[in-house]
Structure 1
Amino acid sequence: MKSAFAAALYLALVTGANADPDLEPLRQGDMRKLNLHSEPAPVSTAVFTDPDGGEHVLSDWEGKHVLVNFWATWCAPCREEMPALDALQKEFSGENFEVVTIATGRNTVHGIETFFAEEGIEALPVLLDPSQALAREMGVLGLPVTLVLDPEGREIGRLMGDADWNGADARALVEAMLEGGAS
C-alpha cells in the first residue's frame, strides 16, 4: 500500500505542469526550480516525531500554507539554506503560514541543536523522520527538498535542491500565496 501511494504520488509530481497562473510569473531566480503542480497532490499520513517523542503528521498544519523542508545535518546544501528558512519563518509564520523542517535519516537531536545554535537558528522546529518513512512516501529522492502545501494540506509545489528562501523571489512567492494566489 505504501509503495503504491508513493508511486502514484511520484507519478503525479513528475507529470504535473506549472499550472497556477497567479504564481507562475513569480518563478524567478531560485524559485525557477519550483515545480507548481497542475493538480494538488495528497500528502503522506506517515508519522514523524519531535525530540520529546511527540508524534506528528503533515495534516497537523492544515489551515495554513506550509513549506515542508526535508533536510539532514550531514547535507551541506541543507545546512546552507537553513538560515534563510529561519528568516522566512520569523517574518511570515503565524495564522496562515509556517515553515516545517524535518530532519530525515540519521540525525541526532544533539547534532541538530548544536547546528541550530551555531547558526543562530531560532524559529524552526526540530522534527525527525529517522526511518525516512515520510520522506520515502513523499517521493523525496535527495536532499534538500521543499514541498509547498496549500491550506487543505495538499502538495501544490516542490523544489528540489537548495534555494535562497529569504530572497526577494521566495518572499514574493510567499506573499502571493498568503494573498490568495495559491489555494
Structure 2
Amino acid sequence: MLRWLVLYTALILGANPALAGEIDWDAAHAAGLQKLAPTDPTPVPDTAFTDPEGKEHSLADWRGKVVLLNFWATWCAPCREEMPSLDALQTELGGDDFEVVTIATGMNRLPAIEKFLGEINVQNLPILLDPKQRLAREMGVMGMPVTVLIDREGNEIARLIGGADWASDAAKEVIRQATAP
C-alpha cells in the first residue's frame, strides 16, 4: 500500500507542469538578463508563417519543446549584434528538448536574409518568414528584436524586448531550468 502511495505521488508531482522547469528569474536578472520579464503562461497563437519554399508552419510545430522565439529583421542593428549568440545557443543546447526559432518579420527578401546571416556567420538558425507581420502583431511585437520563451505546452512564459547575449551563462541556465524535467 505504501509503495503505491509513493508511486502515485511521484507520478502526480512529475506530471505537474507547474512544478516542471522552474526558473529562478531573480538569478537570471542578477546574472545579466535584466530585461527578461516573466509573463503569466499565455498560449501562443497558431498563426501561420512560412519557410523560404513557401511551406506553412505555426508555433504548434514545436509543441513538446521549449522554444526561444526571436523576431528580427535584416535592417535591425541590434538583431545583427544578437543573432550570433542565438546561433551559439542553438548549437550548444538545441535538440530534442529545446530549439531557437528565428522569424524574419516584415519585408525581408530572401537574398537580403542570406546575405545578413552570411555576414555574421550564422549557420544553425532556421530561416522563417512573417512578411505581413501577422504572427508578430498577434504576439504584440512592436519593435525588434523581441525574444519570447515558450514552454513545452505552447505557452509564453517570458519575453525580452531588445537585444541580449543568448550565449551567456545566464541565458544557458534559464534554458537548462526551462527544460528540466
**TM-score computed with the length of structure 2 as normaliser:** 0.85
Measure, in 1, the Cα distance between the counterparts of 2:22 and 2:98: 21
Supply the distance in 2 between the matched residues of 1:99 and 1:71 (Cα, whole angstroms): 13
Number of the residue aligned with 1:85? 86
Unpaired runs of 5+ in structure 2?
1-20
Classify the secondary structure of the residue corresponding to 1:52. coil
Structure-1 residue corresponding to 2:106: 105
The alignment's TM-score, normalised by the length of structure 1, stands at 0.84
Aligned identity (percent) is 53
Unaligned runs of 5+ in 1: 1-19
The one-letter amino acid paired with 2:113 is I
* Shift, 1:145, TM fit: 0.3
CA offsets, 1:85-106, max 9 Å, x none?
Answer: 0000000111000000000001
Distance 2:24 2:64 in 1: 19
Match of 1:31 among 17, 33, 41: 33
Change (3 A) 1:21 1:65: closer
Preserved CA contact (<8 Å) 1:147 1:157: yes
Give, in whole Å, the separation in 2 of the partners of 1:179 and 1:60: 21
SS in 2 for 1:78: helix
Q: Give the Cα–Cα distance (whole angstroms) in 2 for the partners of residues 35 and 74 of structure 1.
A: 25
The number of residue pairs the alignment matches comes to 160
RMSD over aligned CA atoms reads 1.3
After the TM superposition, which of the residue ranges 71-80 and 166-175 deviates more from structure 2? 166-175
AA matched with 2:105: T
Matched-pair contact (CA < 8 Å) for 2:70–2:145: yes
